[in-house]
Chain A
């Protein structure tokens, strides 16, 4: 019994010690470039802030205006990625990114009611900018089709979810008792604009 227990303990320890990283997901396989494309923008704070601000802006304007972004935003990302690959243009510079954060924040804070075409144009322009920026990290061995598909899916999911959460939070049909929710969204815009304004200053200072 004693020897059996000792043998089992040592065998268990040896098994645990020889454990390797589990490749349960297919990141390490050929489809890894899809995940690279999907995760690349989500690990960049600049993308996160801009995408979130765009989604909240579209959501605050209502479903009828915002729903077109579900298509326009991923298409813009793909266009930007293609532009980046074709021309080598990867970034309009930190001042342009900071300026975009400032503009989106000001539009949110001021609760500007804009036409659907203008909203789509802003979203498409932003997506082209960020798509091109993401193209900068495409390696020669990266599968471009998979990377582009991952990026477009991430853009689609992020913009749709952010708009949906904003719409659900705002609930304009709830009336005056829920007016504070609209103010909270505008305050969020004030925060975004403040971050953008400081980054504009920083871009010109450095």
Chain B
């Protein structure tokens, strides 16, 4: 019996002696700012579906939209971000963001082929509103630069995700699947629009 107690006691002592403090979920400084910036566009469903829809629509429109979009969108969104940082208000931002999901989802569902300049203006207007919402959070974050890096990278990756999904348009079945996805995005946009107008809880 004693021969079993001693090794166990020794192991228990060793474990206790080697114990280190646990730093789980250390949301401070750079790590905290980066995590909150990365998660901000991902945790808001209205932002997420609109960003993915932008990528899909860009892929449906083809060149030059498919490559101009990922280069210029973050910049236009950052313009909105600056307005948010400077606390310059925009009219009905929640309604505009919900509307962006509805309009972009409908554009994907209908395979709307606008001239490039018109499509760019539509996307740019919505980008300013999305950027404004993200930018308003920036001054309060643990590390503003890390927050900015996080949310720009997350937004860019959501576009990339949308463009990747959009490449399915090369196949007829994939094209129909994407149109169905556009219907879902537009329907969610309708819901968010009703919510922002106070029609649903």
Contacts and interface: CB of A to CB of B under 8 A. Distances in A.
Interface of A: 2, 5-6, 9-10, 12-13, 16-17, 19, 45-46, 49, 109, 180, 183, 186-187, 189-191, 193-195, 197-202, 204-206
Contact of A198 (B6, B10, B138, B156): B138
B197 interface: no
Nearest to A200: B82
25 contacts: A5-B6, A6-B2, A6-B10, A13-B13, A17-B13, A17-B14, A45-B30, A45-B149, A180-B67, A183-B70, A187-B70, A190-B73, A190-B74, A190-B156, A191-B152, A191-B153, A193-B78, A194-B74, A194-B148, A195-B145, A195-B152, A199-B148, A201-B81, A201-B85, A202-B138
Interface string B142-159: 011110110011001000
Given A202-B138, A202-B139, A6 B3 contact: yes
A198 B82 contact: yes
A202 B17 contact: no
A19 to B, nearest CB: 8
B18 interface: yes
Interface string B35-75: 00000000000000000000000000000000100111111
What 4 pairs between A and B have smallest CB-CB spacing?
A201-B82, A6-B6, A17-B17, A194-B74
A12 B87 contact: no
Nearest to B7: A9
A158 B9 CA distance: 50
Nearest to A105: B75
A195 B148 contact: yes
Q: Specify which of A12, A13, A19, A194 lies most central, judged by the most chain B CB atoms within 10 Å of its CB.
A: A194
B18 A16 contact: yes
Nearest to A5: B3
Contact of A193 (B67, B74, B138): B74
B134 to A, nearest CB: 9
Contacts of B153: 191
Given A190-B71, A194-B81, 10 more contacts: A9-B10, A16-B17, A17-B17, A45-B143, A187-B156, A190-B70, A195-B145, A197-B79, A198-B148, A205-B87
Given A6-B3, A9-B6, A13-B14, A197 B71 contact: no
Classify the secondary structure of B's interface with A. helix
- Overall SS of chain A's interface: helix
A202 B144 contact: yes
A50 to B, nearest CB: 11
B86 interface: yes
B17 A198 contact: no
B99 interface: no
B186 interface: no
Nearest to B145: A45
Query: Which of B2, B6, B135 has the largest count of A CB atoms less than 10 A from its CB?
Result: B6
Contacts of B67: 180, 183
A10 B6 contact: yes
A191 B158 CA distance: 13
Contact of B11 (A9, A49, A193): A9
B6 A205 contact: no
Contact of A183 (B30, B71, B77, B85): B71
Contact of A13 (B11, B73, B146): B11
Given A16-B17, A193-B74, A199 B145 contact: yes
Given A10-B6, A16-B14, A193 B75 contact: yes
A206 B148 CA distance: 15
Contacts of B17: 13, 16-17
